[in-house]
Amino acid sequence: LPFDLYLNVAVGGVLTGLVYGLMALGLSVIFGVVRVVNFAHGEMMTIAMYIAVALFSLFRLDPLLMLVPISALLFAAGYALQAGVINRFITRPEHSQFLLMVAIATIIVNVLLILFGPDSQNVQVAYAFDSFQLGPLIVDATKLYAGMGAIVVTAALFAFFQYTPLGTAIRACADNYTGALVVGLDVKRLYALTFGLGAACVGAAGCMLLLIFDVTPTVGPSYTLLAFVIVITGGLGSMPGALVGGVLIGLTEAMAGLLFTPSAKSMFAFAILVLVLLFRPQGILGKRAA
**From CA 193, how far away is CA 80, in angstroms rounded?**
9
Q: Reduced to 3 states, what is the DSSP secondary structure of residue 290?
A: coil
Binders of other proteins among 195-234, rule CB under 8 A? 221, 225, 228-229, 232
Report if residue 120 touches other proteins, rule: CB under 8 A. Answer: no
Rule CB under 8 A: choose which of 88, 152, 181, 287 binds other proteins: 88
Are the C-beta atoms of 173 and 243 separated by less than 8 Å? no
- Number of chain positions touching other proteins (CB under 8 A): 40
| SS3 (DSSP) at 132 | strand
Q: Is 103 or 137 the residue whose CB approaches other proteins more closely?
A: 103
Q: Which stretch binds other proteins (CB under 8 A): 149-157, 189-197, 247-255, 263-271?
A: 263-271
Q: How far, in Å, are 29, 155, 173 from residue 167 at the CA level?
A: 11, 13, 10
**Nearest residue to 21 (alpha-carbon basis) of 222, 281, 211, 249:** 249
Query: Counting contacts by CB under 8 A, is residue 248 touching other proteins?
Result: no
Q: Return the SS3 of 138.
A: strand
Q: Give the binding range for other proteins (CB under 8 A) out of 5-13, 52-60, 65-73, 101-109.
A: 101-109
**Closest alpha carbon to 14 in 155, 140, 108, 202:** 140
List interacting residues with other proteins (CB under 8 A). Answer: 31, 37, 85, 88, 92, 94-96, 98-100, 102-104, 106-107, 109-111, 113-114, 118, 221, 225, 228-229, 232, 236, 261, 263-264, 266-267, 270-271, 273-274, 277-278, 281
